[in-house]
Amino acid sequence: MVALVKLAEVTRDGAYLEPQSGALVDTNSDEWEKQLYDLCRLYEIPIQNIAQIILDPKVLPMIRGKAFEYSVADRLRITLPATVWSVSQPRMNAQSGQHDVDLKVVHLPTNRHISIECKMSDKGSFRIGNGKSASARVKCMRSRTLGSAKVIQRSAELGIAENKLSAHSDSYTDSEFDFVASSLSNAFYDTDKTTLNYFWHASAEEQLSISNIAKNHFAEPKQISSEFIFLAKAKDLTPLRSGVPCTRKKCPDKLKCQFIPNFPYVNFQNATYTIQNPWFEVSEIERRFSEFLSL
């Protein structure tokens, strides 16, 4: 059977980390196949059609978005010392009206928490500019736009004026999570206009840029773009911190806006391809989290 479940990343000794518990998983085992079979039976999904179901243009983006959360969680568990930090993926009721946390990181010695929102880069958004600088956009917006009733409810909960919240009904505030995590991979995806299937494509120049950005000239560019994970503090993405005016017509305070743009840019310096503030590579995560918690 062809594997349809994305496995966790390989550790340095070649083992895999199971997403929730961090326990080692034998990838030669048939256990994941049994779990998939049982799940399909439980939810009345015809397993013989599972590939077609996943490839449906309405389904695949949601699955890839959820899978990215697991990829980030796996990388954090590999990068952060397990005796100091724990990483979990809380399960919440999406209908509760509360923002569901993608990832929760706990500093074990102090029991202080950090929340992370995982957002893929915007499809097909990678660009190479003058002087060979590069950029992409991160798609950072609500999956459910706030209606008028929700605006009233959330306005009271968040302490934000209704007119401000209404003007940004599909945007996140800077207080709903602490960090945003993304990767470059989706910035190279496009849609086949005939089959409607998604496909990854990068020109030779773009592939070289990927290798330069990640300082990796050995792995395949597609793999590199997927594994190059970067983060930013939520507050640093807002016009109030970035200095880039809010583009919403009805925003009453465009330079002091505390909403995260729907498509914040990630930029790379033209000479060194170094990622630019406020974004940083996942390799810096422990130092950045420690600074955030003032440890």
Per-residue pLDDT of the chain in tens (295 residues, 90 and over written 9) = 333 433 333 333 333 334 343 444 455 567 888 889 999 999 999 999 999 999 999 999 999 999 999 999 999 999 999 999 999 999 876 555 556 789 999 999 999 999 999 999 999 999 998 777 899 999 999 888 888 888 888 888 888 888 999 999 999 999 999 999 999 999 999 999 998 889 999 999 999 999 999 998 899 999 999 999 999 999 999 999 999 999 999 999 999 999 999 999 999 987 788 999 999 999 999 999 999 999 9
Neighbouring C-beta atoms of residue 102, cutoff 10 Å = 22
- Determine, yes or no, domain membership for 215: yes
- Asked if the bond preceding 278 is cis, omega within 30° of 0, the reply is yes
Label residues 186-201 b or e (16+ Cβ within 10 Å = b). Answer: bbbbeeeeeeeebeee
Question: In the prediction, which pLDDT does 10 show?
Answer: 33
- Give yes or no for a contact between 202 and 188, defined as CB atoms under 8 angstroms apart: yes
Q: Are strands 189-191 and 127-128 parallel, antiparallel or unpaired?
A: unpaired
For residues 178 and 85, give the distance between their C-alpha atoms in angstroms, rounded to a whole number.
16
Residue 36, in any domain of the structure: no
Domain membership flag for residue 210: yes
Query: Is there a domain that residue 38 lies in?
Result: no
Q: What would the pLDDT profile of 16-48 be if each residue is shown by its tens digit? A: 334 343 444 455 567 888 889 999 999 999 999
Pairwise CA distance, residues 111 & 280, whole Å = 24
178 domain-assigned: yes
Q: Give the chain's domain count.
A: 1
User: 10 Å Cβ neighbour count for 140?
Assistant: 22
Identify whether 17 is part of a domain: no
In our burial notation (b when 16+ CB lie closer than 10 A, e otherwise), range 113-137 reads: ebbbbbbbbbbebbebeeeebbebb
> Quick check: is 31 in a domain?
no
**In terms of pTM, does the model score above 0.75?**
yes
Of the candidates 120, 138, 113, which has an alpha carbon nearest to the alpha carbon of residue 289? Answer: 113
Domain that holds residue 69: 56-292
Cα–Cα dist 106/25, whole Å: 24
Region class of 108: left (phi > 0), else alpha (psi between -120 and 50), else beta: alpha
The answer as to whether 29 is a domain residue is no
The neighbour count for residue 252, using CB atoms within 10 Å, is 12
In tens, the pLDDT along 143-188 reads 888 888 888 888 888 888 889 999 999 999 999 999 999 999 999 9
